[in-house]
Amino acid sequence: MNFFKHACLLTAVLLLHSACGTNMVTGKREFQFVSEEKEIQMGQDSYLPLQQIEGGEYLDDPALLSYIKEVTASLISVSERPNLPYSITIINSSTPNAWALPGGKIGINRGLLLELNSEAELAAVLSHEIVHAAARHSAKALERQMILRAGLFSLESITRENMHSGVILSTSKLGTILLSQTYSRAAELEADRYGIEYMVRAGYDPFAAVKLQETFIHLSSGRSPGWLEGLFASHPPSKERLEANKLYAETFPKGGKIAQDTYKRKIARLRHSEGAYQLYDKAQTTLSENNPRRALQITEQALQLHPQEALFHGLAGKIKGVLSDYQGALFSLDRALSYNPHYYDFYLQRGLIHRQLGNLSHSRADLNKSITLLPTADAYYALGRLAVDEGNSAEAQKNFAIASNANTNTGQKATRWLARMEIPHVPEKYLQLKAGLDNTNHLILEVQNQSVVSVKDVHIQVEVLNPAGRSQSIQVFKIGSKMNANDIRAVSTQLGPFSNTRILSETIRASITSAKVLSQ
């Protein structure tokens, strides 16, 4: 092993040693690559996007949010990291879920609040999430990935002799990593254990955490789709967790605050509107089943029960757009935004409607506003179409390029638009050209259409070079027939013969100069 290899491994060892720190919750020594400053920034960067993805903020009952903030504050005050910039919001989603981001950003779904029976159970949920933040569970998962990648870097350096090899962790992907992160079994048990401690310190009955796990296990056995998609996806209940909670709760004195009646009073408004949200969820399902007229009828029933809910007006606007009632859609989306001006989808849907009505400046403003709240392929694709309408090819291509990164139907449409616009100008970006020899040692050219659109009239220019590397002659060959995606065509040039394929690079310069995209 040469000097560089030794130095690389030594650096990795020293990095691991210097990155050790003490976990303030557990008191254990552990690797800590992510600083507290970075940890807080990661959570802050992901907080708004995650709220938007989950359904936006629940704004109908400010008193309920104030109550939950009070309970949260009492638990934060007894934690080992009370000075983190904690924040909590209620997410307007029927899916039962709760989550915590690094730095103390917490969300709890409307659907989960309806499944709890007391303030003590609410405290059990919140203390569990506070531990996830205080004990750096998301940050630790990210650090494990960094250690793994550092190991891969060392291995790559040794095997490939590449002094400039490395792994760059893209900060733009941190949000995606955090949102998709599931906790390990150890992290869940740890959050349960220290969460019970926080409950006791704050004066709550620790057996509420046991009762909560019993409820979760019962609900998970029923295989409710909402539950399986929500809380159980990242916090799977188990008999192991239930037994561990029982054993640990029994180590504390009996009693403590439960506040069942208080909790019932605090969620009374939410409970009263539960039926309206059930209708809203049913309407969404009905729309996904391609029955928009019935979906609109169900949404209107929900609005009769709860006319101030922005989500209901937003869904009505979306459905009216599907039914080509653009003026009606605009009215509903304006109402939605009057009740909640902070949700991306209302701006996105209204931007799409404004484009249908020819209000291009209003459409652009709404689409850009939606992107500031949550960047989506749908918004970028729509902006691309707007730019096409206005003859701004550069702007259209920029937006289509962004939208094409999405693995969705919209992403596929953006990819097709981008290919159609770029192929006439940069055909070699999409059409691969290979040169070889046929069985008589004459030059043969092979073209593969690597785009997602069909092309024809592909022109290939071949320059024959003299020994000094200068152009001696130029010939143009054409593939006139249609080439679908992934089609391959071969062109015999009759140039040659050449002694071998190696000499081609010295005597031939071939390039695709133009191609025509077929309308599809």
pLDDT of residue 483: 97
Q: How confident is the model at residue 179 (pLDDT cuts 50, 70, 90)?
A: very low
DSSP bridge partners of 88: 106
CATH number for position 394: 1.25.40.10
In a domain, 510, yes or no: yes
Please, what is the end-to-end C-alpha distance for the chain in angstroms?
58
Same domain for 356 and 484? no
Same domain for 357 and 457? no
- Judge whether 317 and 287 are in contact, CB under 8 Å: no
Distance of alpha carbon 35 from alpha carbon 139, whole angstroms: 9
The least confident of 61-65, 162-166, 234-238, 266-270 is: 162-166
In a domain, 267, yes or no: no
Phi, psi of 356 (to 5 degrees): -60, -30
- Judge whether 337 and 310 are in contact, CB under 8 Å: yes
To which H or E segment does residue 449 belong?
strand 443-449
Using only C-alpha atoms, what is the Rg of the chain? 30
Total domains in the chain come to: 3
CATH number for position 479: 2.60.40.10
**Per-residue pLDDT reduced to its tens digit, 96-123:** 889 988 899 999 999 999 999 999 999 9
Q: pTM value?
A: 0.84
Distance of alpha carbon 328 from alpha carbon 485, whole angstroms: 41
Distance of alpha carbon 415 from alpha carbon 435, whole angstroms: 28
Please report where in the chains the tokens 């919750």 appear, as a residue.
25
Q: Copy the structure tokens of residue 8.
A: 């690389």
Q: How confident is the model at residue 152 (pLDDT cuts 50, 70, 90)?
A: very low
Among candidate residues 249, 274, 291, the one where a domain is terminated: 249
DSSP annotation string for 332-358: HHHHHHHH-TT-HHHHHHHHHHHHHTT
Same domain for 240 and 312? no
pLDDT of residue 402: 94
Q: How confident is the model at residue 177 (pLDDT cuts 50, 70, 90)?
A: very low
**Per-residue pLDDT reduced to its tens digit, 414-450:** 999 999 999 999 999 999 999 999 999 999 999 999 9
- Judge whether 24 and 80 are in contact, CB under 8 Å: yes
For the chain, how long is the longest CA-to-CA vector?
A: 96
DSSP bridge partners of 461: 476, 511
- Judge whether 367 and 347 are in contact, CB under 8 Å: yes
Same domain for 193 and 78? yes
C-alpha dihedral (138, 141, 147, 149), degrees to nearest 10:
-100
Please report where in the chains the tokens 């989960």 appear, as a residue.
112
Same domain for 212 and 326? no
Among candidate residues 398, 422, 446, the one where a domain is terminated: 422
Share of the chain above pLDDT 70, in %: 81
Distance of alpha carbon 317 from alpha carbon 319, whole angstroms: 5
Q: In terms of C-beta density within 10 A (0-12 exposed, 13-18 middle, 19 or more buried), how is residue 467 classed?
A: exposed
Asked if pLDDT for residue 191 goes beyond 90, the answer is: no
Q: Copy the structure tokens of residue 292.
A: 């928009």
Q: DSSP state, 480?
A: -
Distance of alpha carbon 146 from alpha carbon 172, whole angstroms: 15
Phi, psi of 118 (to 5 degrees): -160, 165
Same domain for 403 and 436? no
Phi, psi of 23 (to 5 degrees): -75, 120
Q: DSSP state, 443?
A: E
Using alpha carbons, select from 59, 99, 82, 34 the residue that is nearest to residue 313.
59
pLDDT of residue 497: 92
Neighbour count for residue 430 (Cβ, 10 Å)? 21
Q: List the domain range (segments joined by +) for residue 448.
A: 427-517
- Judge whether 477 and 425 are in contact, CB under 8 Å: no
Distance of alpha carbon 207 from alpha carbon 215, whole angstroms: 12
Same domain for 435 and 410? no
**Chain centroid to CA 248:** 37
Among candidate residues 422, 438, 470, the one where a domain is terminated: 422
DSSP bridge partners of 18: none
**Per-residue pLDDT reduced to its tens digit, 31-81:** 666 777 888 888 888 899 889 988 999 999 999 999 999 999 999 999 989
Same domain for 318 and 445? no
Cis amide leading into 96 (omega within 30): no
Same domain for 88 and 230? yes
In a domain, 324, yes or no: yes
**Per-residue pLDDT reduced to its tens digit, 199-211:** 999 999 999 999 9
In a domain, 310, yes or no: yes
Same domain for 391 and 471? no
In a domain, 459, yes or no: yes
In a domain, 1, yes or no: no
Same domain for 415 and 475? no
In a domain, 370, yes or no: yes
Please state whether beta strands 105-109 and 87-91 pair in parallel, antiparallel, or not at all (unpaired): parallel
pLDDT of residue 230: 56
Distance of alpha carbon 445 from alpha carbon 225, whole angstroms: 55
Total count of residues recorded for the chain: 520
Asked if pLDDT for residue 228 goes beyond 70, the answer is: no
**Per-residue pLDDT reduced to its tens digit, 446-497:** 999 999 999 999 999 999 998 888 888 999 999 999 999 999 999 999 998 9
Q: How confident is the model at residue 273 (pLDDT cuts 50, 70, 90)?
A: very high
Cis amide leading into 307 (omega within 30): no
Q: How confident is the model at residue 397 (pLDDT cuts 50, 70, 90)?
A: very high
In a domain, 260, yes or no: no
Same domain for 511 and 380? no
> Which are the contacts of 229, defined by CB distance < 8 A and separation ≥ 6?
95
